[in-house]
Amino acid sequence: MTAVPWVVGQWVRGERFYGRAAEIAALLPSAEEDLEAPPTGPAAPGRLLWVAGLRRIGKTSLLRQLEMLALDARRPVLPLLWDLEDADDAGDLAAGLADALLDAGEALDRLGVRREVDGEIEAGLGDSDPCAVLERLRRALAGRGAELLLLCDEADRLAGLARTDPDLVRRLWRAAAGENGRVVLASSVRLADLAAGGGADACVEGFGAPLPLGVMTPGEARQLLRQSHLPPEARPGFDDATVEAIRERCGDHPMLLQLAGRRCQETGDLDEAFRRLALDRTVEHLFEVDLALLTAAEREALRAIAAAERDGDSGPDPRDPALARLSALGLLRRPDTGGASAGPAIRNRLLAAWLLR
């Protein structure tokens, strides 16, 4: 069988990117939006956006796909992907911004704004104020009828800065947004909890509630498993029953779908593939990290639901507030049978088994 490019542990975009149509529609500037509309406050409504999810759910891939789509958009947009993973202080912010500008060199040239930041790139921003650089860039883009789309990955790292220098973080968003800028943050759910508790509220001031990035829709999961972007001869050739079985056992989780697709193609046997997955340290680590990101009440609820499913009990009250975010993140589903009063179930069968160990 022809090898299929299952991708695990790295971001994807273009023909290897599947799904997320609703999220892309919510986050990417539309052609109909008016760049001339005056802001109300530090940034116009809808120009400070935030996506939060668990690990390995596709946050970086989503940002990379937004970057690619923005470059191809009919309207002039400069997508600037800024990795904040090492942003422990203002100097780290400056260095990371210089790297982002360097990577965006071709787009800067195309829009005719390289000279506004060229010196900063060569100097690695040095002692320059990243807020001033962003504002200068955004204003230069405005002069050409273009918009800045600032895509910030690993935004959890801003929590430390928000405690030591909250004004710096606030100035970043004011500089990047305004009348012709848009910011999209991607973080884990932990940043949402920190902000709700007042521990990192400056990080996301003005952003509103994050858009939860959960699992794929059933249709998107089917496309990924069938590798529908590839020529027919290069696809894995799973039949419908195999596709649905993989979906059900993986709960439409993108990373697990990729892993399961690879194992099923290697072994040619669905049950053997999942026996191996259940023992895979990569899968165990994913679940360990994800549970550590949840609140104690959410972890307790997940374990109680898994035990209730095993024992045939009713499980937690479906009105338990701890279940709301678990459902939004794609960890829970309502059973297909049992009526409206039926309790929630673990969506991911691999996770359900792991919780009961």
DSSP string, 283-338: HHHHHHHHHHHS-HHHHHHHHHHHHHHHHT---S-TT-THHHHHHHTTSEE--SSS
Q: Which of helix, strand or coil describes residue 80?
A: strand
Strand pairing class (332-333; 345-346) = antiparallel
More confident residue, 116 or 321: 321
Instruction: Provide the pLDDT confidence category of residue 162 given band limits of 50, 70 and 90.
Output: confident
- Secondary structure of the chain: what % helix, strand, coil (to 5)? 55, 10, 35
Angle at 177 (CA atoms; ends 174, 182), nearest 5 degrees: 150
Rounded-to-integer distance, Cα 162 and Cα 211, Å: 21
Rounded-to-integer distance, Cα 184 and Cα 210, Å: 10
Strand pairing class (211-213; 332-333) = unpaired
Q: Domain segments of the chain: what residues?
A: 20-213, 218-285, 294-355
Q: What is the pLDDT of residue 314?
A: 80
Q: CATH number of the domain at 20-213, please?
A: 3.40.50
Rounded-to-integer distance, Cα 300 and Cα 291, Å: 10
Q: What is the pLDDT of residue 39?
A: 36
Q: What is the pLDDT of residues 246-283, one digit of tens each?
A: 999 999 999 999 999 999 999 999 999 999 999 999 99
67-81, 113-127, 232-246: the lowest-pLDDT one: 113-127
Q: What is the pLDDT of residue 1?
A: 45
Q: What is the pLDDT of residue 178?
A: 84
Q: What is the pLDDT of residues 48-75, one digit of tens each?
A: 999 999 999 999 999 999 999 998 877 8
7-16, 136-145, 217-226, 340-349: the lowest-pLDDT one: 340-349
Q: What is the pLDDT of residue 342?
A: 65
**Beta bridge pairs of residue 182:** 149
- Distance of CA 71 to CAs 76, 103, 151, 184, 311, Å? 8, 13, 13, 16, 53
Interval 213-231 mean pLDDT = 96
Q: What is the pLDDT of residue 31?
A: 45
Q: What is the pLDDT of residue 95?
A: 87
Burial 209-248 (b: 16+ CB within 10 A, else e): ebbbbbbbeeebbbbbbbbeeeeeeebbebeeebbebbbe
More confident residue, 241 or 198: 241
pTM for the structure as a whole: 0.91
Say what percent of the chain tops pLDDT 70: 89
Q: What is the pLDDT of residue 40?
A: 35
Backbone angles phi, psi at 292, to 5 degrees: -65, -25
Q: What is the pLDDT of residues 9-45, one digit of tens each?
A: 899 999 999 999 999 999 987 644 443 433 333 344 5
More confident residue, 155 or 89: 155
**Beta bridge pairs of residue 77:** 147
The type of residue at 235 is R
Give me the sheet containing 77-83, strands edge to edge: 77-83, 147-153, 181-188, 48-53, 211-213
Instruction: Provide the pLDDT confidence category of residue 350 given band limits of 50, 70 and 90.
Output: very high
Q: What is the pLDDT of residue 126?
A: 55
The type of residue at 194 is L
Instruction: Provide the pLDDT confidence category of residue 201 given band limits of 50, 70 and 90.
Output: confident
Contact at 8 Å (CB) between 227 and 70?
Answer: no
Interval 3-10 mean pLDDT = 81
Q: What is the pLDDT of residue 338?
A: 47
What architecture does CATH give domain 294-355?
A: Orthogonal Bundle (1.10)
Instruction: Provide the pLDDT confidence category of residue 198 given band limits of 50, 70 and 90.
Output: confident
Q: What is the pLDDT of residues 279-304, one digit of tens each?
A: 999 999 999 999 999 999 999 999 99
Q: What is the pLDDT of residue 336?
A: 55
- C-alpha dihedral sign at 335, 340, 344, 347: positive
How many CB atoms are closer than 10 A to CB 355? Answer: 20
Average pLDDT, the chain: 88
Instruction: Provide the pLDDT confidence category of residue 119 given band limits of 50, 70 and 90.
Output: low
